[in-house]
Chain A
Amino acid sequence: EVQLVETGGGLIQPGGSLRLSCAASGFTVSSNYMSWVRQAPGKGLEWVSVIYSGGSTYYADSVKGRFTISRDNSKNTLYLQMNSLRAEDTAVYYCARFYTLVQAFDIWGQGTMVTVSS
């Protein structure tokens, strides 16, 4: 079965760090473009970051310099290291596969909630 399962969310104080994980099954993370997309409570979707199959990484301006996307090919897992967290980073974080053949996010995880609050 093709699926993505995110873990690692929780409550963290402003300025803190958190690492999210996204375990994939049914396909190979390293052969695909993989992204993180977030959704603040009651708000719309916001693209956060992408890692290309070749390893290049890109970020939204709102997280550049604070977040790092990476992957572990042996574990078929995607990560998002989040540092210097702010209240405005509070959101559900989804990992998703961007399928280049259709130029769309075709597989999504169930999401993990990150709350940044003191």
Chain B
Amino acid sequence: EIVLTQSPATLSLSPGERATLSCRASQSVSSYLAWYQQKPGQAPRLLIYDASNRATGIPARFSGSGSGTDFTLTISSLEPEDFAVYYCQQRSNWSWTFGQGTKVEIK
């Protein structure tokens, strides 16, 4: 099973600041890496697929990069609605795994 490790666990930032979230895979996942945003009491929402492609309706301030084992989600300038938990996810053969999440909180 491929393990995804996200860092940091918590990111304390102010609105307008840049957020950089990391996701590292225990072995290569090529570019098949997705990112999700989850707010309290809500289902996850797809942000990024194939490492760098924004899903429908996702603002341009969200961007993804990376391939192989190291991936990054960047929020260029945090808006109040961006404070949430973010998860990365991969699929390999018949198994899907998520990272443990990064909470982006207001400083």
Contacts and interface: CB of A to CB of B under 8 A. Distances in A.
A28 interface: no
B49 A102 contact: yes
A109 B43 contact: yes
A85 B13 CA distance: 41
Residues of A in contact with B, size category: 20 to 34
The secondary structure that dominates the B interface is: strand
A108 B45 contact: yes
B106 to A, nearest CB: 19
Contacts of B34: 102-105
Contacts of B53: 102
Given A58-B94, A103-B34, A103-B50, A44 B44 contact: no
Nearest to A60: B95
The secondary structure that dominates the A interface is: strand
Contacts of B45: 108
A106 B97 CA distance: 15
Residues of B in contact with A, size category: 20 to 34
A105 B46 CA distance: 7
B96 A35 contact: yes
Given A47-B96, A50-B94, A105 B101 contact: no
B86 to A, nearest CB: 11
B43 A104 contact: no
Interface string A80-107: 0000000000000010001000111110
B97 to A, nearest CB: 7
A102 B53 CA distance: 9
Interface of A: 35, 37, 44-47, 50, 58, 60, 94, 98, 102-106, 108-111
